[in-house]
Structure 1
C-alpha cells in the first residue's frame, strides 16, 4: 500500500488551501467577468456629484449581491459589483435621473456550453488523476519516478479543484449581472471625459424678424423666410442657410428686399434644467454667428454684413430621430448702421435623422 511522503503531504496541503480559500476570491475577481451570463458597463457624468454618489452607494448597499471594488475620490466613484439581473432596470432608471449617461453597454452570453466544456475537462482530469494515484500505489518505484508522479499528482489535483470551483462559481452566478460603474463630476471633468456625439440631422427652419427701428423707404417693418438647418452634433451644433423677404415691399432703389443669411450656431442646455434629456420642453440658450448678404432694389447695391444672435430656446419634442424646437434671439448686425436692421428674431425648426 502506498503512503504519502512528507513532501507529498505538504503539496496536498497547499492544493487544499488553494482550492478552499483562494479560488472563491479569484472566481469573483474582475478577470472572471466571463463567469456571469450578463455584463454591464455604465459611465455617468453628473453636475451634483455628492448627491449622485450618495444615491448610488445606497443602491449598491441595498441591491448588490456582493461588491468586488468600490473606490472614491473627491470627483469620481468607481465600483464593480454583482447585481440580480432583474435589478438592472432600476439601476438604469436611477442613473438616467442622476445625470448624463455617456456609456450604457449590456452584454449577455449563454454559459450552458461553457459548463459542458468544464464538465468534460473535469472527467478527463479525474481520469488522469486516478491513473497517477494507481501508478503511485503499484509496486516499487525509483525516487525519480516517485517525485515525477507526485508532481503530476499535485498538478492534476489543483486542476481538478479549479475546474470544479469554476463550475460552482458559474452556477452560483445564475441570475446575476456583473456591473462596472463609473460616476464622475462634470464640473471637474469639463472636456476630457465628455464625448462629442456626431449626428446627421438635416432640417428646415422658419424665421420671423421684427425690426426695432424700420425706416420707411429703406426697410420693411418685418422680414420672414425659410432656411435649411443642418445639425451635426447632439450638443447641438449646426449651420443654417436661408433667405428672409420683407412682409411689405418697397419700390425705392435703396429698399432692402432680401437678406441672404448663413450662420453657425450652438445651443447649450442649463445644468439645473435636465441638460436636454427630456423628450419634451427642454430649455436651452443659444448663439448664432455668421453674416448675411443685404440686397437692395438697385441691382448693384449688395453688401455682406456680419451678425451675432443671442437667444433663448425651447425644444418642444425631442427623440432619437426627430427634433422640433423654437427660439427667440436678438438679431444684431455688426456694422455702423446696425440700428436700422437689428431686432427680435423668432425661429422654429424641424430636424430629423437622415
Structure 2
C-alpha cells in the first residue's frame, strides 16, 4: 500500500530547483508593483541636470531599500527603486527643489485584502492537494490514473510554494513604496525633442499705452483698450488681438483715433526665481512682436506699422485652470516716426483652461 504519493526523481528535482532559484527571484522582483502598498511615478524637468542627477543619486543611495533599475544618459535619468513610505515626503521636497515637476502620481493598495486573497487561494490548493493525496492512497488505482494524479499533485505543490512565497513578499513590502523616477534636462522631452507642452487657454486682456511724446492734433497722450489673448503653450506662447482707443479725442483729420493691434508673444521664467512653479507672484520677462493698424479720422491714411515690445511681468495667480498676470513693456513701433508713438504699455490678462 502506498501511504504517500510516489513522484519520479526527476520531477522532485525540478520542483526543488524551482523553489531554490525561481521563487527567491520572485521575492526580489520589482516588476509586480501590485505587491507594494504604494506605487509612485515622478517625472521632473531640470535646468541644471548634472547637479540634479547628483542629488537624486545621493537620495537613492541614502534612502532606498533597494534599487530595481537605474539608467542614465547625458540628459536623462530613469530609476526604479523601493522606498519606505515615510520617505515619500522627502522625495517630493527634493523633486520640487530640482526643477519643474511634470508628473507626480501616487497609487495606494490595501495589502491586507491582498494577503487575504492569497490565503484563500492557498487554502483552496491545500484542499485540492489533500484530495489528490487521498486518491493516491487507493491500492486499486490504475497506473495511468495514478500518474495523472501524481502530476496534478506536483502542480499543486508548486503553486502552493508560489503562493506562500508571494505572501511572504507582500508581507515584507508593508510600509514600502515602489518608485519610478524620471529626470530630464529641461530642453528635452522623453523622446529627445524640444519640450513643448500645448494648452488651450483663451482669455481677455486690458491694455493701457502711455505715449512718451504725444502731439496735439496727431495723437492722444494715452490709449486704452481690450484684446483677446489666446495662450497655446505652457511656455508661455500666445497671440493677442485687440483695439486701443484714445483717452482724449480731437477732430483733426490726421488724429489717430484707433490702434488695431495683433501680436505674437512669449514669456520666459528666470532660472533663479522659481521657474514659474509657484501659485502666486511668478516673475517673468517677455517680448511681443507683431504690428498695429493705425486709423486716423480721415479714412484715407490708414497704415500697418510693425512693432516690438520688451517687458517684465508678474503672474499674480497661477493654477492648473486659471492664470491672472500683469506686465509692463516698452512699446516700440518699427517706423520712421516711431518717436511719436512709442511709450510704456501696461497689460493685465486673465486666461482659463477651455
TM > 0.5: yes
Cα gap change, 1:188 to 1:200, in 2 (>3 Å)? closer
Q: Is the 8 A contact 1:203 1:352 kept in 2?
A: no
Quote the residue 2:115 is aligned against: 115
1:200 shift after superposition: 2.8
Greater displacement, 253-262 / 135-144? 135-144
**Whole-angstrom distance in 1 between the partners of 2:72 and 2:36:** 25
**Whole-angstrom distance in 1 between the partners of 2:196 and 2:332:** 32
Q: Is the 8 A contact 1:102 1:195 kept in 2?
A: no
**Whole-angstrom distance in 2 between the partners of 1:146 and 1:280:** 76
* CA deviation string 1:61-107 (max 9, x = no partner): 22222221122222222111122223222211211111111111112
CA RMSD of aligned residues (A): 2.8
* CA deviation string 1:251-292 (max 9, x = no partner): 321011221222232212233432211233323222223322
Q: Is the 8 A contact 2:188 2:195 kept in 1?
A: no
Quote the residue 1:320 is aligned against: 320
TM-score (norm 1): 0.87
Cα gap change, 1:353 to 1:76, in 2 (>3 Å)? closer
Cα gap change, 1:84 to 1:197, in 2 (>3 Å)? farther
TM-score (norm 2): 0.87
Quote the residue 2:46 is aligned against: 46
**Whole-angstrom distance in 1 between the partners of 2:205 and 2:169:** 57
Q: Is the 8 A contact 2:255 2:297 kept in 1?
A: yes
**Whole-angstrom distance in 2 between the partners of 1:97 and 1:204:** 32
Unaligned runs of 5+ in 2: none
Q: Is the 8 A contact 1:77 1:183 kept in 2?
A: yes
Q: Confirm or deny that 1:94 pairs with 2:120.
A: no
**Whole-angstrom distance in 1 between the partners of 2:145 and 2:194:** 60
* CA deviation string 1:140-179 (max 9, x = no partner): 6665444433322221111111111122222222222211
Q: Confirm or deny that 1:194 pairs with 2:195.
A: yes
Q: Is the 8 A contact 1:311 1:329 kept in 2?
A: yes
Cα gap change, 1:254 to 1:193, in 2 (>3 Å)? closer
**Whole-angstrom distance in 1 between the partners of 2:176 and 2:295:** 68
* CA deviation string 1:300-338 (max 9, x = no partner): 432233333233323244333443333232323344443
**Whole-angstrom distance in 1 between the partners of 2:196 and 2:153:** 54
1:38 shift after superposition: 1.7
Greater displacement, 338-347 / 153-162? 338-347
**Whole-angstrom distance in 2 between the partners of 1:225 and 1:17:** 81
Q: Is the 8 A contact 1:257 1:297 kept in 2?
A: yes
**Whole-angstrom distance in 2 between the partners of 1:248 and 1:260:** 17
1:180 shift after superposition: 0.9
Q: Confirm or deny that 1:162 pairs with 2:177.
A: no
Quote the residue 1:209 is aligned against: 210
Secondary structure in structure 1 of the residue aligned to 2:193:
coil
Cα gap change, 1:235 to 1:108, in 2 (>3 Å)? same
Secondary structure in structure 1 of the residue aligned to 2:60:
helix
**Whole-angstrom distance in 1 between the partners of 2:188 and 2:272:** 17
Quote the residue 2:287 is aligned against: 287
Quote the residue 1:70 is aligned against: 70
Matches within 5 A, 1:247-326: 247-326=247-326
Q: Is the 8 A contact 1:27 1:166 kept in 2?
A: yes
Unaligned runs of 5+ in 1: none
Q: Confirm or deny that 1:173 pairs with 2:173.
A: yes
Secondary structure in structure 1 of the residue aligned to 2:8:
helix
Cα gap change, 1:207 to 1:49, in 2 (>3 Å)? same
1:352 shift after superposition: 4.5
Q: Is the 8 A contact 2:332 2:342 kept in 1?
A: yes
